[in-house]
Amino acid sequence: MKTKCYDRIGEQVYSEKLENGLTVFVVRKQGYNKKYAFFATDYGGADRRFKLGGRWLDTPMGVAHFLEHKMFDTEDGNALAELSANGASPNAFTSTDITAYFFESIEKFQENLEILLSFVSIPYFTPESVQKEQGIIGQEIRMTEDEPDYAVYYGLMKALYKHNPLRDSVAGTVESIAEITADTLYSCHKVFYNPSNMVLVVAGDVDPEQITAAARKILPKEPGELPQRDYGPAEAMTPESGRFEARMEVSIPIFLMGCKAIPPVKDIDFLRQELIGTLAMDILAGRSSPLFLKMYEEGLINNNFSAAYEYAAGAACTIAGGESANPDRVFELYKQAAGDLAAKGPDPELFNRLKKAMQGRQLRSLNSFETICYNTARGYFRGYDAFQAPEVLAAVTREDITAFARDNLRSGDMALSVILPKNA
């Protein structure tokens, strides 16, 4: 295995690409009792249209999420119950662009790792179990669609994007999941759960050679074809519409403001823009920003207000929002502050203080095995080394923030999504 030392942060990472195309990362954490395994596929809710064997294929919304639910089923029972009975704490998630299965344990880690690798790589579906799951997930979808936070987020995505699948729920709709069959699941598992499209990350006091030995023993021996993905026609930088509005059972309006960002195009650019974008949003609308303090003092927002940079499915955007009795006034002030940041750049003292705070968060995150594994996997799928983040952030300048604001916080291209009280 290759070994790479990161002197700046005191980490040592082992890695190896196996013959079947799977890349394994082991982050040694000597002296820790807890161990963490994260087995992920570069496949999420947005990956509905893809090319394989020279042919374009379309699948219903919600397949990736549905597949995640069903992967715990085995011919002999349920892997979730088996891992739990074995002293592990297992879970899984599906996002727009990644599906992951993971667990942490103190005892029987190697045995639990083999269970994880086995059930994720060996699918077992029956028409009866798929039909049963359609009912369960359908009920979850109906409940989620009644949640204001869900409605305001996807309202903003629909206001921003015309074609990109970011517009659509990762879970799909009741109608779309009704189209999913056992054959659909087997086909998508074969395409996206092949080792060439996956990564295994382990953190803890473990033997790296034992980890790769387990992967070689259990997983398929041959690499698979990597699918080509299609996220729809190119999007204009202007929003599809300037506003989304709905009424639901809320006591105070909730809102999200957003703007499309220019997506990064390769490797380390993903990491660099994510760090610059996150810092820029802290400077513009974070809790220490003049904008946040002004709006909070005037009673326009409360502590639920937050801001972020996001990237998925070939698209990027900036988002901010929370609760307010006057979201339109907040939107006006937000656009003014974004324009000022693009024209004048960040205050030097604020820039230095928030950059140091972000560096501190990075260092503290190295104590979280979950964060280490997730960031390593996500970085691998996007072509960058997540452990380079402190080095990349250290090189970020005020000019980088100004350029980001100018290119990606265009006040004239912002959209607003608002959920108003039903009976107001």
Q: Please report the pLDDT score of residue 423 as a whole number.
A: 81
DSSP letters, 255-324, are EEEEEEEPPP-SHHHHHHHHHHHHHHHHHHHSTTSHHHHHHHHTTS--TT-EEEEEEETTEEEEEEEEE-
Q: Cα(338)–Cα(291) distance, rounded to whole angstroms?
A: 10
Burial of 276 (0-12, 13-18, 19+ CB in 10 A): buried
pLDDT at res. 393: 97
**The pLDDT of residue 389 is above 70:** yes
Instruction: Determine if the pTM surpasses 0.85.
Output: yes
Average pLDDT value for residue range 233-244: 94
Cα separation, 83 vs 105, whole angstroms: 9
Tens of pLDDT, residue by residue over 162-188, are 999 999 999 999 999 999 999 999 999
Active-site position among 68, 82, 240, 274: 68
Q: Is 332 a catalytic residue?
A: no
| Structural Rg of the chain based on CA atoms | 22
Of all residues in the chain, what percent carry a pLDDT higher than 70? 100
What mean pLDDT comes out for the span 207-218?
Answer: 97
Query: pLDDT by residue (tens digit) across 17-55?
Result: 999 999 999 999 989 999 999 999 999 999 999 988 888
What domains are there in the chain, each with its CATH number?
2-228 (3.30.830.10), 243-421 (3.30.830.10)
Per the prediction, the chain carries an average pLDDT of 95
- Give the model's pLDDT for residue 424: 67
Rounded Cα–Cα distance for residues 22 and 368 (Å)? 24
Give the model confidence (pLDDT) of 339-382 as tens digits.
Answer: 999 999 999 999 999 999 999 999 999 999 999 999 999 999 99
Q: Provide the pLDDT confidence category of residue 266 given band limits of 50, 70 and 90.
A: confident
Average pLDDT over residues 96-109: 96
